[in-house]
Every structure is written in C-alpha cells, then in structure tokens.
Amino acid sequence: MYLVPTGSGRFDLYSEPPDEVAPGGPPHERDGFWRRLARRLHERWQEVAHAARGTDESAGRLARARDWMVRRIAESIAEQRTLWSLHGVTSAAFVYPSDLSDAAAVAVRARVLAHARRHHGWWLLLNLVVAAVTAVLALLPGPNLIGYYFALRAIGHYFSWRAARHALDRTSWRATAEPALTELGRLAHLPRAERTERVALIAAGLHLPRLAAWFDRAAVPTL
C-alpha cells in the first residue's frame, strides 16, 4: 500500500489489486448475502461496462451519453479497489514518501483511513436510500442502469467502509520509505503536460502500470 502525495498537503492510499476480483472476493460455498449480491451485480456490471467500451461512433446521442456515464462509473468503482484489497489483511507493506518521518507517515495513514471510513459510511446510507427508490425502474424494459449504478455504489461503499475500519483496527503495517514518492509529490504542483513523462518513469520504476493515469486524476493542478 503506497501513501501518495497528491498536492497541497493531501495524501491518498494507492495499490493495484487485480481487476478481476469482485469486492466480495472469490466464490465460497459459505458466502453470505452481501457477497452473493456483490458478485451477481459485479458480473452484470462487467458485461455492461464491457459493452460501453465498444461504443459505435454511429450510435445516437443518448447511447453515447449512456456509454460515457457507464465508463465514468467503472472508473469510480475501480478506484475503490485499493480499500477493498485491505479487508481481511492482517499484515501489509506500507510505502511512504521519504521526506516524512515514520511517525508522520503513520499519522497521515490513520487520518486517510479514518476519513475513508467516515466518508464511505455516509455515502453507504445515502446510496441505500436512492437504490431503494430507483428499484421501481426495474419494471421498465432494458437494463436498469440507474438501479445498477446506485446498487453497486451502495455495495462498493459498504466494502470500502468495512475495509477502512479493518485496516485501522486490525492490520499490522511494515513501513518503508520511498524517495520516488517524494519526487511524485513535488510533481503534483506542475501542469499535467510538464509532469507526464517523469510521472510515467516513476510509475514504471515502482512497477505500478496504472499509477500515472490515477495520479493525473488525483493530483492538483490537473491542467
């Protein structure tokens, strides 16, 4: 788990768990309701998201807008995998910028996780309410994209909230300082065009192929 500086004194946790892992984890005969529901929705959503990536340019405006929305939702869901990967983990490697002391890095990590627990807890409640309201749309023909969206959001926030709580209370961390993360923090203040090449090199050096794209979305300024 990497503690990445994203500019203006902000930090985010980052990792690259496998794409194919659903938030409920691998199938198990003793899976509970939440895991089974998460897996079914995840599989259905994967089908919808895959179809949205192959949008035909000749499609109408509504179809293109729908597919754009689906792709944005898929990106949002993917970003929560960092927290999902922490659930059930009893020991984890923690890599932080070398310009922070170990105590400061631990404090920042605790602050980020506490914020995530609070943030996802509130959004879980809100999305549960909206998912219940939009459930009536399932009566209409065609895939209920709005219903899928809020149901997946609710489940995603549930697993993120649970994982953040677990990481705060039960995970043992092995800390390591990393100079490349310090440099990444300095690059956050540069316009995207000026930092792109160096960020890509840092991502390659850390063996994190998706880090550059994530950093461009998270760092400020992004122009």
Is 223 inside a domain boundary?
A: no
On whether the CB atoms of residues 37 and 48 are closer than 8 A, the answer is: no
d(CA 205, CA 214): 16
Distance spanning both ends of the chain, measured CA to CA: 27
Q: How many folded domains does the chain comprise? A: 1
d(CA 134, CA 152): 13
Is 68 inside a domain boundary?
A: yes
On whether the CB atoms of residues 203 and 21 are closer than 8 A, the answer is: no
> What six digits make up the tokens of 197?
């090449």
Question: In what side-by-side order are the strands of the sheet with 172-178?
Answer: 10-14, 2-7, 91-97, 172-178
pLDDT at 21: 47
Is 171 inside a domain boundary?
A: yes
Is 200 inside a domain boundary?
A: yes
Neighbours of 60 (CB within 10 A): 9
d(CA 62, CA 4): 38
Which residue range(s) make up the domain with 104? Answer: 2-218
Q: Which residues contact 102 (CB under 8 A, 6 or more apart)?
A: 96, 175, 177
pLDDT at 80: 78
Is 28 inside a domain boundary?
A: yes
On whether the CB atoms of residues 95 and 179 are closer than 8 A, the answer is: no
**Integer-rounded Cα radius of gyration of the chain:** 19
Is 48 inside a domain boundary?
A: yes
pLDDT at 3: 97
Per-residue pLDDT of the chain (223 residues; tens, 9 = 90+): 999 999 989 999 999 876 544 455 555 555 566 667 666 666 666 666 666 665 556 666 666 666 766 666 666 666 678 888 898 899 999 999 999 999 999 999 999 999 999 999 999 999 888 888 876 655 555 555 666 677 777 888 898 999 999 999 999 999 999 999 999 999 999 988 899 999 999 999 999 998 998 898 888 655 5
Is 12 inside a domain boundary?
A: yes
Query: What DSSP state is assigned to residue 19?
Result: T
Query: What DSSP state is assigned to residue 85?
Result: T
- E strands, 15-171, are 91-97
Q: Tell me the whole-structure pTM to 2 decimals.
A: 0.74
Cα 11 → chain centroid? 14
On whether the CB atoms of residues 6 and 215 are closer than 8 A, the answer is: yes
Q: Which residues contact 11 (CB under 8 A, 6 or more apart)?
A: 3, 4, 5, 108, 112
